[in-house]
Amino acid sequence: MSLATVILAAGKGTRMQSDLPKVLHPIAHAPMLHHVMHAAADLSPDRNIVVAGHGSDLVSDAAHQIDPTCQVVLQTQQLGTGHAVDQARAALSDFCGIVLVLYGDSPLFQTSTLQALVDKLNDVDVAILGFDAKDPARYGRLITTGDALDRIVEFKDANDEERAITLCNSGVMAAKSDLLFDLLSKLENKNASGEYYLTDVIEHARTAGKTAAVVICAEDETLGVNSRVELAQAEAHFQSRRRRAALENGVTLPAPDTVFFAFDTVLGRDVMVEANVIFGPGVTIENNATIRAFSHLEGAHVADGCVVGPYARLRPGAELGPDVKIGNFVEVKAAEIAEGAKVNHLSYVGDAQIGKHTNIGAGTITCNYDGVLKHKTIIGENAFIGSNTMLVAPVHIGDEAMTGSGSVITKDVPDQALALARAEQINKDGFAKRLMDRLRAIKAKKKDS
Ligand code: UD1
Ligand code: CA
């Protein structure tokens, strides 16, 4: 049977205290909406609908980044979750199949859990994902008789007896499209919030003689984000799940709790990530590479056998070939560093290309920016850049060439040449001693007077 997802993302999220629509707040550097869309995409739905309202232009752009074919429908007034789903009615008027309703503020659902819910529709007419809450707080409570779900009561509308129930609504619901839209047209807003609750669909289904059931899932998948505190909790859940996956896939993390991944971090086998490493988006680390402590990486590709850090910074466009070494306090940006090359200490390498097995001495800087434009530094293979060389781009250093320490290189250096671009040294015999004697004499005279 075909599948449509409807993701609710119109709410303002007042408790976030933010100008940004709630569903665009990030977890692991991706908006919550993207996490939900990725989990849904793995079910290969035929249609994706996103219901937008607050900040709808921003929400629509974010949705189209993940699925350019998704349909964004507007809910101009946020009259409740049921009203929100109803906004997809026109977009799905030609659709016949299963509708899966997801919330844009609940970013931790796993695809397998969503699949189990969809599969439940083989047995019942309406199914929801529920969980046993350690602290049920303001979640909707599930009223059941045996395996049957009778109704859902929102916290605000619940009496004490109902509030004591710990079986709660995650918000995720699945039903056949024709039934769902029939039930939605029966909703009323006579409740504590004055909203059209999606959750009331269950009671209407049962009254109409349909069956409803709960599929139980793990509580940590269901976390709904309504505040920054909950956003931080969702981030923590994501990170701990991601760390566990890395460990299970053959990555060594001696201090997993101190390593922070992005939503898209890719790590190979036998990678070692030491303590306090932060991954921004777009990082791939290939097999056998080591990322040493306190490094920060984003938009970088690190090939087999590299060693990066401690205290290294790889910025977008850092492309490290096999067995490259990047040492402490080195920043690399938009630079290709070929196999076996080394940049071991205190350097900035930006807008550059460095050939195989070249050694970049301590304190080397590619002076890539003239205040207006960026320029490129190209260094050949097996070159040796002396410590504290300033490479004023655009500049080209040949294969097997050298630069003397402290040089300011402003002209190209041919293959195998040595470039010296620093003031020549003069030695004055005995001068140091004569100077010190004189200075000490002056000091002694001052003390006496
Ligand atoms: C909802 C459920 C509650 C469940 C909880 C789980 C209802 C009535 N209640 O409560 O049973 O335990 O989620 O997290 O469904 N939204 C719209 N338009 C609206 C209203 C909401 O798009 O008019 C979107 C929000 O942006 C949000 C999602 O729907 O992404 C959930 O809305 P929210 O107001 O947070 O619902 P809860 O009160 O948390
Ligand atoms: Ca919520």
As a whole number of Å, the end-to-end CA separation of the chain is: 103
State the ligand closest to the CA atom of 12.
1
192 and 320 within one domain = no
57 and 172 within one domain = yes
3-state secondary structure the chain: CCEEEEEEECCCCHHHCCCCCHHHCEECCEEHHHHHHHHHHCCCCCEEEEEEECEHHHHHHHHHHHCCCCEEEECCCCCCHHHHHHCCCCCCCCCCCEEEEEECCCCCCCHHHHHHHHHHCCCCCEEEEEEECCCCCCCCEEEEECCEEEEEECHHHCCHHHHCCCEEEEEEEEEEHHHHHHHHCCCCCCCCCCCCCHHHHHHHHHHCCCCEEEEECCHHHHCCCCCHHHHHHHHHHHHHHHHHHHHHCCEECCCHHHCECCCCCEECCCEEECCCCEECCCCEECCCCEECCCCEECCEEECCCCEECCCCEECCCEEECCCCEEEECCEEEEEEECCCCEEEECCEEEEEEECCCCEECCCCEEECECCCCECCEEECCCCEECCCCEEECCEEECCCCEECCCCEECCCECCCCEECCCCCCCCCCCHHHHHHHHHHHHHHHHHHC
Which domain covers residue 333, as residue numbers? 238-419
Domain count, the chain: 2
Q: How far is the CA of 112 from the centre of ligand 1 (A)?
A: 22
169 and 34 within one domain = yes
182 and 143 within one domain = yes
**Euclidean distance between CA atoms 251 and 248, whole angstroms:** 7
Q: How far is the CA of 157 from the centre of ligand 2 (A)?
A: 16
State the ligand closest to the CA atom of 192.
1
412 and 294 within one domain = yes
Final residue in a domain of this structure, among 222, 251, 273: 222
145 lies in some domain: yes
State the ligand closest to the CA atom of 231.
2
176 and 28 within one domain = yes
Q: How far is the CA of 191 from the centre of ligand 1 (A)?
A: 15
The pLDDT assigned to 306 comes to: 98
Q: Which atom of ligand 1 is nearest to the CA of 79?
A: 23
431 lies in some domain: no
Residues with CB under 6 A from ligand 1: 8-11, 23, 51, 53, 75, 78-81, 83-84, 103-106, 139-140, 152, 154, 168-171, 197-199, 224, 226
254 and 146 within one domain = no
Q: Which atom of ligand 1 is nearest to the CA of 23?
A: 30
Q: Which atom of ligand 1 is nearest to the CA of 75?
A: 18
Contacts for 266 with CB less than 8 Å, ≥ 6 apart: 283, 284, 285
The pLDDT assigned to 444 comes to: 96
The pLDDT assigned to 448 comes to: 85
Place of tokens 């969503």: 114
283 and 402 within one domain = yes
Q: Which atom of ligand 1 is nearest to the CA of 51?
A: 22
427 lies in some domain: no
435 lies in some domain: no
**Euclidean distance between CA atoms 359 and 217, whole angstroms:** 54
Q: How far is CA 288 from CA 260, 272, 308, in A?
A: 19, 7, 12
State the ligand closest to the CA atom of 21.
1
Final residue in a domain of this structure, among 222, 249, 273: 222
276 and 200 within one domain = no
Sheet of strand 384-385, all strands in order from the earlier edge strand to the far edge: 251-252, 271-273, 290-291, 307-308, 325-328, 342-345, 359-360, 384-385, 402-403, 418-419
271 lies in some domain: yes
199 and 148 within one domain = yes
Q: How far is the CA of 81 from the centre of ligand 1 (A)?
A: 5
Catalytic residues: 345
The pLDDT assigned to 355 comes to: 98
Ligand 1 pocket check: which of 18, 103, 190 to mutate, most ligand atoms within 8 Å of Cβ? 103
Q: Which atom of ligand 1 is nearest to the CA of 13?
A: 26
**Euclidean distance between CA atoms 104 and 123, whole angstroms:** 27
**Euclidean distance between CA atoms 160 and 154, whole angstroms:** 12
429 lies in some domain: no
For residue 207, count other CB atoms closer than 10 A to its CB.
Answer: 11
302 and 262 within one domain = yes
Q: How far is the CA of 10 from the centre of ligand 2 (A)?
A: 11
374 and 294 within one domain = yes
Place of tokens 């949705």: 63
CATH number, residue 218? 3.90.550.10
329 lies in some domain: yes
Final residue in a domain of this structure, among 222, 255, 286: 222
The pTM for the full model equals 0.93
Q: Which residues fall inside 5 Å of ion ligand 2, going by CB? A: 105, 224, 226
Q: How far is the CA of 225 from the centre of ligand 1 (A)?
A: 10
Taking CA atoms only, the protein residue closest to ligand 1 atom 2 is 171
Tell me the pLDDT of the chain (449 aa) as tens digits. Answer: 899 999 999 998 999 999 999 999 999 999 999 999 999 999 999 999 999 999 999 999 999 999 999 999 999 999 999 999 999 999 999 999 999 999 999 999 999 999 999 999 999 999 999 999 999 999 999 999 998 999 999 999 999 999 999 999 999 999 999 999 999 999 999 999 999 999 999 999 999 999 999 999 999 999 999 999 999 999 999 999 999 999 999 999 999 999 999 999 999 999 999 999 999 999 999 999 999 999 999 999 999 999 999 999 999 999 999 999 999 999 999 999 999 999 999 999 999 999 999 999 999 999 999 999 999 999 999 999 999 999 999 999 999 999 999 999 999 999 999 999 999 999 999 999 999 999 999 999 999 87
The pLDDT assigned to 382 comes to: 98
CATH number, residue 303? 2.160.10.10
Ligand 1 pocket check: which of 27, 72, 81, 199 to mutate, most ligand atoms within 8 Å of Cβ? 81
**Euclidean distance between CA atoms 441 and 445, whole angstroms:** 6
75 lies in some domain: yes
